[in-house]
Amino acid sequence: MAAIMAEQRRRNITRVVSEYGTRLFNFIRGRVPTNEDAEDILQEVWYQFSRVVDIDSIEQVSGWLYRVARNRITDRYRKKREDLIVDQQYEDEDGMTLLGDLLLIDDNTPETEMLKEIVWESLFRALDELPEEQRDVFVWNELEDQTFREISERTGINMKTLISRKRYAVLYLRERLQSLYDEFLLNA
């Protein structure tokens, strides 16, 4: 009986991998700089999927897979650049950069971790709303610490064009994250 269940489980995993593999890879690849990064994250997603005790208990497999992929992408950026401060400096009356300061706080209280999660999730949702060329330049420059010169040499895009694209991204992110900033300021 256990052998039959194990075989059925293996078939289910194989079916899901073949059904979602290419689409999930493309989703991840659109959010990370290299194919290698995308492959690493995809492997992490498949590993986590294979660790689920009861695969049939997942109501919407595609939603689960994409949520895990997004979380892995977010984790990778956090590890790469914990000191991200969106290219704006939201300051309160005391000169504090609330959103940026929040991301840099070292205390790991549940409240701080929850607030950090909210800021990161809001940032990544806002990044997803940007046109691809603006998002890419912002991510490469801000999250991956690539200079405009490096990006220009790699992509063949003029540096002034890259700077302009990042500027539009920053303007959008400022507007998009303003309500989050206001909420933190009012509740601080």
Mean pLDDT of the chain: 76
Q: Answer whether 183's CB lies under 8 Å from 118's CB.
A: no
Domain boundary assignment for the chain: 2-80, 98-187
103-116 mean pLDDT: 66
Query: 91 — phi, psi (to 5°)?
Result: -125, 140
> 2-80: which CATH topology?
Rna Polymerase Sigma Factor; Chain: A (1.10.1740)
| Residue 21 Cα to chain centre, angstroms | 19
157-181 mean pLDDT: 88
Q: Pick 64 or 156 by higher pLDDT.
A: 156
Q: Answer whether 144's CB lies under 8 Å from 128's CB.
A: no
For residue 187, give both structure tokens. Answer: 């509740």
Q: Pick 92 or 178 by higher pLDDT.
A: 178
- CATH architecture classification, 98-187: Orthogonal Bundle (1.10)
Q: Answer whether 102's CB lies under 8 Å from 116's CB.
A: yes
pLDDT at 134 (0 to 100):
92
Using one digit for the tens of pLDDT, what is the confidence trace for 53-96? 666 667 787 888 888 888 888 777 766 554 444 433 444 443 33
163-186 mean pLDDT: 82
DSSP string, 24-84: HHHHHHTTSSSHHHHHHHHHHHHHHHHT-S-GGG-S-HHHHHHHHHHHHHHHHHHHH-TT-
